Every structure is written in C-alpha cells, then in structure tokens.
Amino acid sequence: MIGVLALQGDVREHISLLESLGANAFGVKTLEDLEAASGLVIPGGESTTISKLAVNFGLIDAIRNFVATKPVLGTCAGLILLSKGAIGALSDQQLFGGLDVTVERNAYGGQTHSFEAEVEFATGSERVAFIRAPKVVDIGSAEVVATLEGEPVAVRSGRVMGASFHPEITGATTLHKLFLESI
C-alpha cells in the first residue's frame, strides 16, 4: 500500500503510475492514512503550499517520522520538501528533511521555461518534464540516481529518493520502479 501525499499537486497521476506498475496506491490526507502506508510519494506542486497544509492538517511531525523510517519518493516540490536546505524557501517554510542535499527552488527557470528532456538513469534514458524545477546545488552524501547534462536531477539517501522533475507528466516509470523495488 503506497500513499501519495494528497494535500496539493499531481496526486491522481502518481496513483495511476503506481497502479500501472502493480502497486496499490491511495491518497494520504490524515494521520490514519499515513499509518496505513508502507511507502510515501510526495508529488510536485508548490512546496510552500504543501508545507503549510502539512502544518495545518497536523501532519508535519508524522511525515518527518515517516521519512526517518520508511521509503519516500519526492518529485519537484517533493524534492524541495525532502531536502535538508532549500535556497529560495520562505523564511518560515517547514521542510521534512531526509535527503542530505541542498536545493535551489525554481533554478531551472519559471513556468514559461518549463521543458521536457531525456534524463539518464543507470538503466537508460527517459523523457520527463521540468516545471519551475529545483536544482540540487549541494549533493552532500547522497547518491546520484539520474542526471541531465551531467548534473544530478534524481538523488537518493538510503530509503529516501528525490527528483527535480515530474515523471508522471510524460508517464516515465523508472523512478517509481526504483522506489517500489526499495519497499
């Protein structure tokens, strides 16, 4: 049972992608939902909004505990929320942590600079979408999972994985396959 944090963002698309790979997936909005999940996907959207909603819904501590103990995948805003530090974050913005990386919000450009590109995984390349995407500016002790023009665009620290891009928009499956393998 894979939870997809359903406070904001591409929730349905991630659920479909996980189901197409044979997993059971459902939206997570409450503490009870989170307890039922054996892994969690944090979708892209707006990291400031997702963190505010996580505080308002009383989920912030439970998500931090989840990230410390179970497999989590964050994409785009999800990567920002899983980082240990985010350049351009609001001064009161809460992060979940879990990935030993620092990111810079919107470093791949604003909405009008959105683009699709082939990113390189160890298993081959895949087309994905970058939308107001964050860049990994300090990779710390994290492992590189995918690159774009030699720069890390998907990273992993143990059970926690994050990507700058949206795989669900182009239907790219590698990231979700790697995530499901870690569960």
Binding region for ligand GLN (CB under 6 A) = 44-47, 76-77, 80, 105-106, 131-132
| Residue 166 among the catalytic residues | yes
Out of 14, 76, 126, 176, which one is annotated catalytic? Answer: 76
Out of 14, 104, 126, 168, which one is annotated catalytic? Answer: 168
> 14 is written with which tokens?
């991630």
CB of 27 to ligand GLN, least distance (A): 17
Cα(119)–Cα(147) distance, integer angstroms: 6
Nearer to ligand GLN, 105 or 156 (CB): 105
Cα(7)–Cα(30) distance, integer angstroms: 10
| Residue 76 among the catalytic residues | yes
Q: Which residue has the tokens 């499901």?
A: 180
Pairing of the two strands 115-121 and 143-148: antiparallel
Reduced to 3 states (helix: H, G, I; strand: E, B; else coil), residue 102 is: strand
Pairing of the two strands 160-163 and 151-157: antiparallel
Nearer to ligand GLN, 67 or 77 (CB): 77
Which residue type does 85 have? Answer: G
CB of 76 to ligand GLN, least distance (A): 3
Nearer to ligand GLN, 72 or 76 (CB): 76
Out of 104, 126, 166, 176, which one is annotated catalytic? Answer: 166
Active-site residues: which are they? Answer: 76, 166, 168
